[in-house]
Amino acid sequence: MAQIVKIRTEAGSGPTSHRHISAVELSGGTRESRSTVIANIRAGINYWTYGGGVVADVVVRGCPYCTFSSYITTLPDSTKKNNLLELPEF
């Protein structure tokens, strides 16, 4: 399991204004690209975030708004404080 503590974002493409995670920083300081995280999740490695006293699992989804075929996000829960886009950026 790997805890994501920081993110880097980039603008999504397409007609709507939105952001995607382009890279993450793990609790040990290692940085990984979105494609590496997606490949690792699909291979069975779990990623998670922590905020608001709640752990959130990170999952892969397809973006309905742009050409990014896959992106990473957290599963919905009782707080937004553990959402990826709420984490500090590097």
| Residue 12 reports pLDDT greater than 90 | no
Q: Which residues contact 35 (CB under 8 A, 6 or more apart)?
A: none
CB 84 within 8 A of CB 33: no
pLDDT (tens digit per residue) in 41-87 = 999 999 999 999 999 999 999 988 776 679 999 999 999 999 999 99
Give yes or no for a contact between 7 and 71, defined as CB atoms under 8 angstroms apart: no
* pTM of the complete model beyond 0.85: yes
Q: Tell me the residue ranges of DSSP E strands in 12-53.
A: 19-26, 31-33, 47-51
* Residue ranges covered by each domain of the chain: 2-86
